[in-house]
Structure 1
Amino acid sequence: MLTRLALILCFSFFMSASMATTVVETETKANNEELTQTVFELERSVAILQLSKASLDDYQIMSEKMAHIESLESRVDFFAVLTFLLCLALVVLFVQVRNQHKRLSLLELDSKM
């Protein structure tokens, strides 16, 4: 009887400890989510404040930088497509060379016989 009571107490202790850790973990996750949301809102507020204090020159400089970035983006897109096409051409070339090598080896075998 005493051993059963001790086992029940140990079992309840382990269950309560595991339940307490899950409660602490969920509270920690909730706090982290709230903290992340608060940091995001603060960063957004700072960005809005900086834009509201910007002058016309700042907007023009930002517009020029955006135009420069867009031109760089189009160049990168062009070079990415060009690189892809060159790789594709190399694959086709290697396949053609392999097929031609097979044909040549077959012709050599036929000529030896």
Structure 2
Amino acid sequence: MLYRLLLCMVLGGLVSVSSMAATKASEDPKTLEQTVFELERSVAILQLSTASLGDYQSLSTKISHVKSLEYRVNFLGNLTFLLCMALVVFFFKLRNQQKRLLVLENREDEKAIEQQSKDS
């Protein structure tokens, strides 16, 4: 009988502990994210503090490589923008030229019709 009572108490304690853990885990994910961020930051600081000179040099070369890639991407982005603007200007001027050509053709057609009516 005492064993059963002790077993019930142990099982009840386990259930209550697991329910408390479940409520604590679901309480505030924001604080959990903050804690994970702080732990990752601490690990990064620890890794940097134990880094050697070669590690710093390789990190420096990687950073300079990334910066050069950034400059290339910026240049290509600017170049693409300028090409698109040039195309817009080109199509605008082409449209104006087509309008002028259409007006000239209409004038020539009117002159030809007037010439034919005078000849008849």
Is 1:56 the counterpart of 2:53? The answer is yes
Runs of 4+ in structure 1 deviating by more than 3 angstroms, as ranges, are 27-30
Question: TM-score, structure 2 length as denominator?
Answer: 0.68
How far is 1:71 from its partner?
Answer: 1.1
Aligned to 1:46: 43
CA distance in 2, matches of 1:34, 1:71: 38
In structure 2, the residue matched to 1:108 is: 105
In structure 2, relative to structure 1, the CA distance for the partners of 1:100 and 1:28 (3 Å cut) is: farther
Counterpart amino acid of 1:62?
L
Q: Once the two structures are aligned, what percentage of the paired residues are identical?
A: 59
Distance change in 2, residues 1:110/1:69 (3 Å): same
Return the alpha-carbon distance in structure 1 between the equivalents of residues 25 and 45 of structure 2.
Answer: 30
Partner of 1:96: 93
Instruction: Please show how residues 17-56 of structure 1 align to structure 2 within 5 Å.
Output: 31-56=28-53
Asked if residue 84 in structure 1 is aligned to residue 81 in structure 2, the reply is yes
Provide the aligned C-alpha RMSD in A. Answer: 1.6
Q: What displacement does 1:29 show?
A: 7.9
After TM superposition, the score normalised by the length of structure 1 is 0.72
**How far is 1:53 from its partner?**
1.2
Unaligned runs of 5+ in 1: 1-26
Structure number with bigger Rg: 2
Q: Any idea what the Cα deviations from partners look like across 1:7-33, whole Å, max 9, x if unmatched?
A: xxxxxxxxxxxxxxxxxxxx9886111
Call closer, same or farther: CA 1:95–1:29 in 2, change over 3 Å: farther
Unpaired segments ≥5 residues, structure 2: 1-23, 111-120
